[in-house]
Chain A
Amino acid sequence: AQSVSQHNHHVILSEAASLELGCNYSYGGTVNLFWYVQYPGQHLQLLLKYFSGDPLVKGIKGFEAEFIKSKFSFNLRKPSVQWSDTAEYFCAGFYGNNRLAFGKGNQVVVIP
């Protein structure tokens, strides 16, 4: 089945630590991938997206992600997190023409 998987559902780290969240997708063909963030009690906001071109994608709030086709991965990174990065992070990808499949999310807690 076509799917997106995320690992290490709960991540706790201190401010200024580096963050990396893994995302793997299991379908072939054209790949369009996204990372969304959901702050507590809020809606999903787009952090970054990959459609084509440079596999290293820069997003908002200092986040970046790298698409590695050979590893079927699209991992999210931030070199130095802040308390305000406490949120749920979702990787998502299209399968078929317009069905967006979400991973189960990573709950990230940043301790001041």
Chain B
Amino acid sequence: DTAVSQTPKYLVTQMGNDKSIKCEQNLGHDTMYWYKQDSKKFLKIMFSYNNKELIINETVPNRFSPKSPDKAHLNLHINSLELGDSAVYFCASSQAAYRNEQFFGPGTRLTVL
């Protein structure tokens, strides 16, 4: 009965590789998000989708590409991974886009070697 789930939980890869992280929510929410938490635990929004449409696209390298096949799923694909991409990536969802409480997934710890 997990509300927001992410796979994989851990991802270790070499520089230059391409990888994807998947997120699914079973809360029936319309809006989903990707956040990056750096080594100092600082959390920053990366992207947000509302009903499969991109509504937030912060200053993120274009190596990062989100994809939302339906409103219950939001995947994050990262091309040409760099050392600085190492972080914990959290997916979240909310019932609607406007100022709603956000529910977070368990996180994916990405380590780029």
Contact = CB atoms under 8 A, between A and B. Distances in A.
A34 to B, nearest CB: 7
Contact of A46 (B55, B99, B101): B101
A14 to B, nearest CB: 23
Interface string A66-98: 000000000000000000000010100010011
A8 B87 CA distance: 23
* Chain A interface category by residue count: 20 to 34
Contacts of A102: 42-44
Interface of A: 30, 32, 34, 36, 38, 42-46, 49, 51, 88, 90, 94, 97-102, 104-105, 107
Interface-centre pick from B43, B90, B101, B103 (highest chain A CB count, 10 A): B43
B106 A97 contact: no
B66 interface: no
A90 B106 contact: no
Contacts of B103: 46
Given A42-B106, A105-B41, A98 B101 contact: no
Interface in B36-74: 40-45, 48, 55-56
Contacts of B99: 30, 32, 51, 94, 97-98
Contacts of A90: 43
Contact of B105 (A32, A43, A98, A107): A43
29 contacts: A30-B99, A34-B101, A38-B41, A43-B104, A43-B106, A43-B107, A44-B43, A44-B104, A45-B104, A46-B101, A46-B103, A90-B43, A94-B99, A97-B98, A97-B99, A98-B31, A98-B56, A98-B99, A99-B45, A99-B56, A102-B42, A102-B43, A102-B44, A104-B40, A104-B41, A104-B42, A105-B41, A105-B42, A105-B43
